[in-house]
């Protein structure tokens, strides 16, 4: 969708979903300011059964002087309707007949996508999407504190206080300047006595799903329908601390969908992966190792079955400890494919603190002549010591190219400036021959490698359990597609 082209519409009605949250209100308001900047008036409204009553939202509307109206009986048929944080005609938003509509949303697409829709489920908040779209149209956020505050707060509330950020763009938005005293004030008006009762009711009715074989227990807590994501997060933060639970999922129904908040207290369950598994194929989920969130379009039975499946259907391998018969697996040779690398000294001064932002998360480093950054064949990024690099790779003269959905950036931790990693990249080729033993796993498998005892590699059925032939206890998981791109069978 071309955001600027929406300005062509003579009248713009921006509609939030029913019972709007901070993300919907923030997205709508920032868009209104964008349209205003381009000389177009717009109006923000919502329908549904109830008016906004949450104290922090009323405070937000009041402090930023946001003009938003409750109009369940719109007296006219709109020329042009833009739904934000929801999709026209979906279950959580009142449908109004209109001549033309557009959609900006970050939930799973429920309608046909075309040039009038911008739907990106990988993002944690609609605010992130709006921020990215406005930024790409050259909108100067430095000059608009209100837009910054409102989008930051939208992201903040949709990610349980930034703890469930899923995408690098979410982390970019989380880094912007905002009014700290305003956000603090809003944060501390988040809970009413009534909502405290929602928390206690949710904690009251738990059920436990257990797998005795791997000795893991997950608690399930259902909060009342359309529960605020912050309340979900707050509830799961408490439930996580229960001694007999290894992880917990607090959830609520949102129309025909389910919102979840996941916490883990053991290394064998990564909250982000757990959330991702639950939502796979019917929504999107993610976060970090201990805290995650997600949204799925499914009923409660399906959701509970997914939790059960997650717990019951995986194998666990501890490198060097678990007995695996690698010698009976096929042998594979690593293909000679050029990859990219960056010398951090080309980008920053010695010992300069930097953050490399990747799809998989942030990597904090200190730049210097001994630290290189590798860019793998699908754009995956990881640091490497110069010594190890020189031992394992040969330099190439060919220029380096990378085309992926997200291009990794490097953030100067002192100034906040961002550089594009691939702008500094060169090509290289792995030296020598690497032979592995590998076979596709038949069940989801988690592998704790030699190199990281906190985080496991996670495989879905079909991914490859792989071990270096020179040291078969050095095993790890390779994604099925990447495996076939990278290895060839030795026959
Ligand atoms: Mn949202």
Architecture field, domain 3-187: Alpha-Beta Complex (3.90)
- Domain ranges in the chain? 3-187, 193-313, 326-333+433-489, 334-430
Which candidate, 289, 250, 295, 248, places its Cα nearest to that of 272?
Answer: 289
* CA 210 to ligand 1 centroid distance, Å: 32
pLDDT of 393-420, one tens digit each? 999 998 898 877 788 899 999 888 899 9
pLDDT of 139-150, one tens digit each? 999 999 999 999
* CA 85 to ligand 1 centroid distance, Å: 5
How high is the pLDDT of residue 193? Answer: 85
Asked if residue 11 has pLDDT above 80, the reply is: yes
Q: What is the pTM of this model?
A: 0.76
Asked if residue 455 has pLDDT above 90, the reply is: no
Asked if residue 131 has pLDDT above 80, the reply is: yes
How high is the pLDDT of residue 429? Answer: 92
* CA 490 to ligand 1 centroid distance, Å: 49
Asked if residue 190 has pLDDT above 80, the reply is: no
* CA 204 to ligand 1 centroid distance, Å: 27
Asked if residue 205 has pLDDT above 90, the reply is: no
* CA 417 to ligand 1 centroid distance, Å: 28
Please give the Cα distance from 86 to 15 (Å, whole number): 9
Please give the Cα distance from 248 to 231 (Å, whole number): 15
* CA 165 to ligand 1 centroid distance, Å: 12
pLDDT of 292-305, one tens digit each? 999 999 999 999 99
CATH number of 193-313: 3.10.310.40
Among 117-126, 334-343, 356-365, the minimum mean pLDDT is found in: 356-365
The pLDDT confidence band at residue 319, using thresholds 50, 70 and 90, is confident
Please give the Cα distance from 325 to 317 (Å, whole number): 12
In this structure, the number of other CB atoms found within 10 A of the CB of residue 116 comes to 19
* CA 64 to ligand 1 centroid distance, Å: 19
Please give the Cα distance from 141 to 129 (Å, whole number): 14
Encode burial over 389-409: b for 16+ CB neighbours within 10 A, e otherwise: beeebeeeeeebebeeeebbb
How high is the pLDDT of residue 491? Answer: 85
* CA 384 to ligand 1 centroid distance, Å: 37
* CA 21 to ligand 1 centroid distance, Å: 8
pLDDT of 51-79, one tens digit each? 998 889 999 999 999 999 999 999 899 99
* CA 101 to ligand 1 centroid distance, Å: 19
* CA 212 to ligand 1 centroid distance, Å: 37
Q: For 155-211, what is the HEC assignment?
A: HHHHCCCCCCCCCHHHHHHHCCCCCHHHHHHHHCCCCCHHHHHHHHHHHHCEEEEEE
Asked if residue 360 has pLDDT above 80, the reply is: no
* CA 126 to ligand 1 centroid distance, Å: 5
Please give the Cα distance from 381 to 365 (Å, whole number): 13
Please give the Cα distance from 481 to 459 (Å, whole number): 12
* CA 26 to ligand 1 centroid distance, Å: 10
Q: How much is the mean pLDDT over the chain? A: 91
How high is the pLDDT of residue 203? Answer: 92
Asked if residue 191 has pLDDT above 80, the reply is: no
* CA 106 to ligand 1 centroid distance, Å: 7
* CA 158 to ligand 1 centroid distance, Å: 6
How high is the pLDDT of residue 188? Answer: 85
pLDDT of 234-279, one tens digit each? 899 999 999 999 999 999 998 889 999 999 999 889 998 899 999 9
């Amino acid at each position: 969708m071309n955001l600027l082209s929406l300005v062509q519409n003579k009248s713009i009605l921006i509609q939030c979903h029913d019972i709007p949250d901070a993300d919907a209100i923030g997205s709508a308001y920032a868009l209104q300011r964008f349209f205003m900047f381009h000389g177009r008036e717009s109006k923000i409204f919502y329908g549904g059964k109830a008016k906004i009553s949450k104290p922090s939202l009323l405070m937000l509307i009041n402090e930023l002087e946001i003009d938003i109206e409750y109009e369940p009986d719109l007296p006219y048929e709109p020329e042009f309707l833009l739904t934000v944080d929801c999709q026209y005609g979906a279950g959580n938003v009142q449908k109004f007949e209109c001549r033309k509509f557009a959609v900006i949303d970050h939930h799973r697409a429920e309608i046909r996508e075309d040039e009038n829709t911008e739907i990106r489920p990988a993002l944690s908040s609609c605010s992130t999407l709006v921020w990215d779209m406005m930024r790409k149209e050259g909108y100067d956020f430095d000059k608009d504190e209100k837009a910054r505050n409102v989008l930051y707060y939208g992201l903040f509330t949709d990610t349980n206080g930034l703890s469930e950020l899923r995408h690098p763009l979410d982390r970019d938005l989380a880094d912007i300047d905002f009014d700290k005293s305003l956000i603090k004030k809003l944060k501390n008006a988040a809970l009413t006595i009534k909502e405290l009762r929602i928390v206690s009711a949710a904690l009251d009715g738990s059920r436990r799903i257990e797998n005795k074989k791997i000795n893991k227990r997950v608690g399930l807590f259902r909060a009342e329908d359309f529960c605020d994501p912050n309340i979900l997060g707050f509830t799961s933060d408490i439930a996580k601390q229960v001694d007999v639970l290894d992880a917990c999922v607090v959830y609520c129904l949102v129309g025909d969908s389910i919102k979840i908040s996941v916490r883990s207290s053991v290394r064998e369950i990564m909250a982000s992966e757990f959330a991702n598994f639950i939502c796979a194929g019917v929504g999107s989920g993610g976060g970090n190792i201990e805290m995650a969130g997600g949204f799925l379009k499914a009923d409660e039975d399906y959701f509970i079955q997914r939790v059960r499946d997650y717990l019951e259907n995986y194998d666990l391998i501890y490198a060097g400890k678990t007995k695996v018969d690698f010698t009976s697996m096929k042998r594979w040779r690593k293909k000679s494919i050029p990859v990219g690398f960056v010398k951090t000294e080309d980008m920053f001064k010695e010992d300069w603190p930097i953050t490399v932002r990747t799809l998989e998360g942030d990597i904090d480093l200190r730049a210097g002549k001994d630290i290189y950054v590798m860019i793998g064949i699908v754009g995956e990024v990881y640091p490497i010591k110069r010594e190890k690099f020189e031992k394992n790779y040969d330099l190439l003269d060919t220029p380096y190219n990378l085309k992926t959905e997200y291009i990794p950036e490097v953030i100067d931790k002192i100034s906040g400036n961002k550089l594009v990693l691939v702008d500094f990249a060169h090509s290289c080729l792995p030296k020598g021959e690497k032979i592995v033993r590998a076979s596709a796993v038949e069940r989801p498998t988690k592998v704790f490698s030699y190199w990281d005892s906190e985080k496991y590699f996670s495989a879905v059925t079909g991914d490859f359990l792989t071990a270096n032939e020179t040291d078969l206890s050095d095993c790890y998981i390779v994604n099925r597609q990447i495996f076939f791109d990278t290895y060839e069978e030795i026959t």
